[in-house]
Structure 1
Amino acid sequence: MPHDEPASDATRCARSPEAPRSITEPLAPPIQLASVYQVAGLDDADALFSGRAEGFFYARDGHPNAAQLAAKVAGLEGAEAGWVCASGMGAIAASVLTLAEQGARVILSEGLYGKTTTLVARELARFGVGHDLFDPSDPDSLRDVLAEPPGACLVVVETLSNPLLRVCDLEGVASVAAEAGVPLLVDHTFAPLLCKPIKLGATLVVHSLTKLIGGHGDVTLGAVVGPRELISRIRPVASTFGQTGNPFDCWMAIRGAVTLPLRVERTSQTALELARRLEAHPKVERTMYPGLVSHPDHALARRLFPKGFGAMVSFDVGSRELADRLIRGLRDIPFAPSLGDARTTVSHPCSTSHRGQDPEVLERLGVTPGLVRLSVGLEDVEDLWNDFAQALEFA
């Protein structure tokens, strides 16, 4: 049939329309929802798969919105390259799976997010991967662990631990890991823009983009950034395990990242003021915020975070019963098992993020039944405090 002959209705409906011609380009990145891409021929397919040509062929192996988002996060962190996964845990899992093998040890900082600990200590243990723990505020404790039988393949830390907000001595830990020739992965989810882990010696930086970078509670994504060679190894692992992030959420995260500096500044100011008031309240037993002089890592936090201490505050009201009464007593601040939204939320770690962890370990670390984690949003500080003050009285 000649090319210019009108097609049947069925053919017209089945085929994509031609892209409109334009001498202009959109100012905002467009959403590209295609799951598969047209390739001109077999030589082009070979070039794409070998990396000799740039482009996309199947969304699980990469797509334009993920590439744009990965480049943005890598640029923020001063990394060579990045990859976007379907969640923060997807990014951590892809990184660990790339570097770990049977008989290897993954070295975890104490007090890590519960699912990260579960991934290594339970799931990967089934495949012969071991683990050890160290104190992230004490680099010498990492040196001692690394001096044990060989096989350490990765050190995993959080800039700010979840939920106790202990501060990792990134420079010291990175130096010890480098001496031993072991890569250092930093989960930077709680501290975007507060410092730059790669400049301090980290090998990989991971973000749950679901949280502060996305910033509006409407995406589920993660990203890992680092050396180009290592990201090129993580990429096929993420594809094989089906961990790649989807185009729409990538587009939403790009949009959310636009206001990240403003949100970090505002929430850091509000969080510090709320932490001070919570610490002074007679019904609060202890308050954890690195900006407080009472915080055990305050001096380290002042050195690492010169422009603010972040949006997260944790405080303890003494018991699960009182924590429940406090949460139920809040009028406008919702109980939600996540963080980083533009709206302030509270969570209960023992019931959510750390559910199922060893109770004795949680008690030793200080993750108690009365602990409440606060993710500070963009509301007025007085409105937030008024809600907390009346809820504390109710509790």
Structure 2
Amino acid sequence: MAQAMAAASELISTTLKRPFGSDGPLGDDNGGGALAHADEKPKARRREADPAAALAAARHEFGEHGGVNMSIEASATFTVMEPDTMRRLFAGELGPDRGDMYIYSRHFNPTVLALGRQMAALEATEAAYCTASGMSAISSVLMQLVGVGGHVVASRCLYGGTHALLSTFLPRTSGVRATFVDADDEAAVRAAVVPGETRVVYVETMSNPTLAVADIPMLARVAHEAGAKLVVDNTFTPVVVTPARLGADVVVHSVSKFISGGADIIAGQLPELSSREHL
């Protein structure tokens, strides 16, 4: 199981028109998502306000031979018997949500997709996607949202790897500028945000390892007023806090912490969320 979870690794969740409680898998054939309009709120999110209840109500996968738990898919590639099936798979006519068919585990495989569904239910997002580690999820989100030369306002209290990414690696490789502030000081956050330039406000719900608690509704308000996205690392507080319901646009996890429980996997989650007009 640890091997399968490690392959699943990071999870990324993106808003889709389809609610996360639907029967189909979350995400289209290319792994992308269509953003929902503000008045198209997923019924499952409205129905299950409690994360534990939402998780219990999520689609359950049974094992290949009737096991109460789903089978672990260890294959990197998948068999296609007819040439036209391959054409239709690459054209998006078939896929995980259209015929329960797969091509390559880098896109989707059944185990990773099931993990994504569970994490999306837990975090009240419409989808969740997996990458190789917590840092790979964080990196992919920041590179997507910030771009070359963009500006980030981040909490001073961050996991060391995230701080190094923002303070050293991204500035050197992509010209990204990061301003670190006390995230619980609204005046400091507002002073650091540059409307039209700041692309992301980045915090941890409860920081690693100092356990500073972020005021997510305040940060969401400040970020959105400036046209920026709020990205929240919820590694330490799944179930306890649901950032998506408090205004966060993207939620990430290092699965090796709370979600793993046994410190025996490298993995993570990244839900990019919610059905609001500013997305």
TM-score, length basis structure 2: 0.69
| Amino acid across the alignment from 1:213 | I
Asked if 1:67 is matched to 2:113, the reply is yes
Distance 1:177 1:42 in 2: 49
- State the secondary structure of the residue aligned to 1:60: coil
- Could you tell me which residue of structure 1 aligns to residue 92 of structure 2? 51
- State the secondary structure of the residue aligned to 2:113: helix
The answer (yes or no) to whether the contact 1:139–1:169 under 8 Å persists in 2 is no
- Could you tell me which residue of structure 2 aligns to residue 285 of structure 1? none
TM-aligned CA distance change 1:145 to 1:43, over 3 Å: farther
Distance 2:69 2:237 in 1: 26
Asked if 1:213 is matched to 2:254, the reply is no
TM-score, length basis structure 1: 0.49
- 22-31 or 97-106, larger mean C-alpha shift: 22-31
Distance 1:160 1:182 in 2: 21
Distance 1:208 1:70 in 2: 14
- Could you tell me which residue of structure 2 aligns to residue 122 of structure 1? 168
- How big is each residue's C-alpha offset from its partner over 1:3-24, in whole Å with a ceiling of 9 and x where there is no partner? xxxxxxxxxxxxxxxxxxx996
Please state how far the C-alpha of 1:64 moved relative to its aligned partner. Answer: 1.0
| Amino acid across the alignment from 1:62 | F
| Amino acid across the alignment from 1:72 | Q
- Could you tell me which residue of structure 2 aligns to residue 105 of structure 1? 151
Distance 2:175 2:239 in 1: 37
- Could you tell me which residue of structure 2 aligns to residue 249 of structure 1? none
TM-aligned CA distance change 1:222 to 1:50, over 3 Å: farther
Please state how far the C-alpha of 1:156 moved relative to its aligned partner. Answer: 1.0
The answer (yes or no) to whether the contact 1:81–1:228 under 8 Å persists in 2 is no
Distance 1:191 1:76 in 2: 11
- State the secondary structure of the residue aligned to 2:244: coil
| Amino acid across the alignment from 1:34 | S
- Structure 2: tracts of 5 or more residues without a match: 1-62, 97-101
- State the secondary structure of the residue aligned to 1:85: coil
Asked if 1:140 is matched to 2:173, the reply is no
Distance 2:65 2:265 in 1: 29
| Amino acid across the alignment from 2:244 | I
TM-aligned CA distance change 1:52 to 1:143, over 3 Å: farther
- Could you tell me which residue of structure 2 aligns to residue 169 of structure 1? 215
Please state how far the C-alpha of 1:48 moved relative to its aligned partner. Answer: 2.8
- Could you tell me which residue of structure 1 aligns to residue 77 of structure 2? 36
| Amino acid across the alignment from 2:271 | V
- State the secondary structure of the residue aligned to 1:150: coil
| Amino acid across the alignment from 2:131 | C
- State the secondary structure of the residue aligned to 1:198: helix
- Could you tell me which residue of structure 1 aligns to residue 249 of structure 2? 203
| Pairs within 5 Å for 1:7-22 | none
| Amino acid across the alignment from 2:113 | A
| Amino acid across the alignment from 1:132 | T
The answer (yes or no) to whether the contact 2:196–2:226 under 8 Å persists in 1 is no
- Could you tell me which residue of structure 2 aligns to residue 77 of structure 1? 123
Distance 2:188 2:86 in 1: 50
Asked if 1:189 is matched to 2:235, the reply is yes
- State the secondary structure of the residue aligned to 1:143: helix
TM-aligned CA distance change 1:94 to 1:50, over 3 Å: farther
Please state how far the C-alpha of 1:139 moved relative to its aligned partner. Answer: 2.6
Please state how far the C-alpha of 1:36 moved relative to its aligned partner. Answer: 0.3
Higher relative contact order (CA 8 A, sep 6+): 2
| Pairs within 5 Å for 1:1-395 | 25-55=66-96, 56-126=102-172, 127-146=174-193, 148=194, 150-227=196-273
| Amino acid across the alignment from 1:175 | R
| Amino acid across the alignment from 1:151 | E
- State the secondary structure of the residue aligned to 1:184: strand
Percent identity for Structure 1 against Structure 2: 35
Please state how far the C-alpha of 1:228 moved relative to its aligned partner. Answer: 8.2
- How big is each residue's C-alpha offset from its partner over 1:94-135, in whole Å with a ceiling of 9 and x where there is no partner? 111211222211221111111001112111111211111222
- State the secondary structure of the residue aligned to 1:61: coil
TM-aligned CA distance change 1:58 to 1:23, over 3 Å: closer
Please state how far the C-alpha of 1:50 moved relative to its aligned partner. Answer: 4.2
- How big is each residue's C-alpha offset from its partner over 1:60-119, in whole Å with a ceiling of 9 and x where there is no partner? 222111110011011001001111122111111111121122221122111111100111
How many residues are paired up? Answer: 207
The answer (yes or no) to whether the contact 1:206–1:224 under 8 Å persists in 2 is yes
Segments of 4+ moved more than 4 angstroms:
none
